[in-house]
Amino acid sequence: MEKSHGLKHFFQACRYSADGLRYAIREAAFRQELIIGVITVPLAWILPVPVVMSLLLTLAWLGLLVVEILNTAIEAVVDLASPERHPLAKQAKDLASAAVTIAIVANILAWATAICQCLQRSL
């Protein structure tokens, strides 16, 4: 298969990305994280915190979405490669799940920091 170049390549890449987002939206965890972002991202920009903190909160949420998509991709590949139970398949899925958990913890820490800053300013 010949690789496309230029604008054709750009539009194909956009189509592949849109397909990926359509797959991701089918995942309950991804939908839940999207809803969290719809609430928290505007809040991050309304809070009386420095712009850098608002940006950090937004980037932390986007990072969580990225990790969730990669987790879903790893699960799909593992299911294709090893439909039966295998210790390495479990390890791969568990590691991807751990990455999501770490991204969630990073978001919690970022929000805790932002809330502490808000409370300090109000005292």
CA 38 from centre of chain: 13
Q: What is the DSSP string of 3-47?
A: PP-HHHHHHHHHHHHHHHHHHHHTSHHHHHHHHHHHHHHHHHHHS
* Active site annotation includes 68: yes
Rg (CA), the chain: 18
Cα–Cα distance for residue pair 49/105, rounded to 1 Å: 20
Catalytic residue among 2, 27, 33, 68: 68
Pick the closest to residue 115 from 107, 24, 81, 103 (CA basis).
107
The catalytic residue positions are: 68
